[in-house]
Amino acid sequence: MPELLLLCFMIIPQLVAGILAKSQGRNFWFWFFISFLMPIISLIVLLFLKDKNTEKEEGTGYELAEHVRNRKVL
């Protein structure tokens, strides 16, 4: 029983990193497994990375040309 409790306690940083990454528009599984190698460091890195969801909203991505936006789809 103590081993199971210890395992549950050890997986908390991985879950937090995965959920935080998903909320920022990043890959859950990538950050989940990276957090196994560097649990606290991966959380700190995620906190300082830019949120991918806001980058698209702010218009920093590509914008379609006027003639492409106005094109009629058949």
pLDDT at 61: 61
**What local confidence, expressed as pLDDT, does residue 60 receive?**
54
Cβ–Cβ under 8 Å, residues 51 and 24: yes
Burial of 28 (0-12, 13-18, 19+ CB in 10 A): middle
pTM: 0.64
Q: What are phi and psi of 27, to 5 degrees?
A: -75, 120
- Note the pLDDT of residue 9: 82
CB atoms within 10 A of CB 34: 19
Q: Which of the 8 DSSP states describes residue 66?
A: H
Per-residue pLDDT of the chain (74 residues; tens, 9 = 90+): 888 888 888 888 899 999 999 999 899 999 999 998 888 888 889 889 888 876 554 555 677 778 877 777 76
